[in-house]
Amino acid sequence: DAGVTQSPTHLIKTRGQQVTLRCSPKSGHDTVSWYQQALGQGPQFIFQYYEEEERQRGNFPDRFSGHQFPNYSSELNVNALLLGDSALYLCASSLVAHKVEDTEAFFGQGTRLTVV
Amino acid sequence: AQTVTQSQPEMSVQEAETVTLSCTYDTSESDYYLFWYKQPPSRQMILVIRQEAYKQQNATENRFSVNFQKAAKSFSLKISDSQLGDAAMYFCAYRSVPLASRLTFGEGTQLTVNP
């Protein structure tokens, strides 16, 4: 059973460019959340997708956008990249369920984005 | 908004010894979930243990246990019989009860295990 997979693993972009990160959720999961983890800090919630719609959003500018496809996979897009966008981007998948043990979030290994 | 604070940026422990990592949180909610996650150098977050706030009994998973003090809003992780493989960054996290709510993380504690 494949867990959460993210691509690419590493990426280097120039300021002002646009980037797309991809995430495939764990089999059976229907919800994808994205987090930004700056070096030496805890992950910060960006947004969450369920049923192909953005359901929750953290305190991130509109330069950060996303999409969820019918197969539950997701993309994170960042426009007009800034040096401060350099971070590890984590994707977590989960299932909308009533038992908390069924709603555990599983994380991918992340995409390391460096903006130069 | 909820906040999570980990006041120990770094901790170290001798192999086979016991170590406790601290976490405090702030919330106005009466029911919620608390988690400890481990992030090794591979970067993948791994769930270590979960505590449901309505449960008075502290959660235990093998060598890992928590001390949950709801009134004090404190949630510490105890690792017994520490192993070299326990070395990692540990994050405390909070989640509201509504289905698929976001996780709010603390700043993390880097745990070193000395042989």
Cβ <8 Å between A41 and B107 = yes
Question: How many residues are present in chain A?
Answer: 116
Chain A closest-CA separation from residue B91 CA (Å): 7
Pairing of strands A87-94, A106-107: antiparallel
Strands A19-24 and A31-37, bridge-based pairing: unpaired
Q: How many whole angstroms separate alpha carbon A115 and alpha carbon B14?
A: 39
pLDDT digits (tens, 9 = 90+) for A75-113: 999 999 999 999 999 999 988 766 667 778 999 999 999
Q: Kindly report, residue by residue over A3-53, the tens digit of the pLDDT.
A: 999 999 999 999 999 999 999 999 989 999 999 999 999 999 999 999 999
- CB B114 within 8 Å of CB B13: yes
For the stretch A22-46, what's the b/e string if a residue is b when 16 or more beta carbons lie within 10 angstroms of its beta carbon?
bbbbbeebbbbbbbbbeeeebbbbb
Q: SS in 3 state form for B36-104? A: EEEECCCCCCEEEEEEECCCCCCCEECCEEEEEECCCCEEEEEECCCCHHHCEEEEEEEEECCCCCCEE
Task: Give the count of Cβ contacts less than 8 A between chain A and B.
Answer: 62
**Beta carbons of B112 and B12 less than 8 angstroms apart:** yes
CA dihedral for B86, B46, B59, B32, sign (positive or negative): positive
Distance CA B73, CA A15 (A): 42
Tokens of A66: 């996303």
Gap between the Cα atoms of B92 and A89, Å rounded: 18
> Looking at the complex, does the CB of residue B45 fall below 8 Å from at least one CB of chain A?
yes
Q: What is the pLDDT along chain B (115 residues), one digit of tens a residue?
A: 889 999 999 999 999 999 999 999 999 998 999 999 999 988 899 999 999 999 989 999 999 999 999 999 999 999 999 999 999 999 999 998 876 679 999 999 999 999 9
Report the chain B residue with the minimal C-alpha distance to residue A31: B100
Nearest to A94 among B43, B100, B104 (CB): B100
SS3 A83: helix
